Amino acid sequence: MTQKKISAHCYVSGKVQGVWYRASTQDKANELGLTGWAKNLPDGRVEVFMSGEQDHVLQLHAWLKVGPELANVSDVTYEEVAWQEHERFSVK
């Protein structure tokens, strides 16, 4: 059975810049076969866009709530959005 494919947009708050959060997100997304991107925002948050099989998008969303070892995540917003395919998962 083919998995439903979805895209999601997230904002991650807390101590998430300067702690390898974006690179670790990229590693996890690649492991899950997702495409999209992660970028730092001027207000200290990280913005993440991901596309792929629904189960894998939900797994990355759960991972974003914890992040890499040095991160201290306080909040993650999650919104499913219109499908958008990317060539790979990149760090902006």
Catalytic residue among 22, 30, 45, 88: 22
Please choose, from the candidates 79, 72, 14, 19, the residue with its C-alpha nearest in 3D space to the C-alpha of residue 48: 79
Q: Per the residue annotation, which of 40, 45, 72, 88 is the catalytic one? A: 40
In the annotation, is 22 catalytic?
yes
CB 38 within 8 A of CB 47: yes
Is 88 a residue of the active site? no
Residue with token string 């101590």: 15
Residues assigned a catalytic role:
22, 40
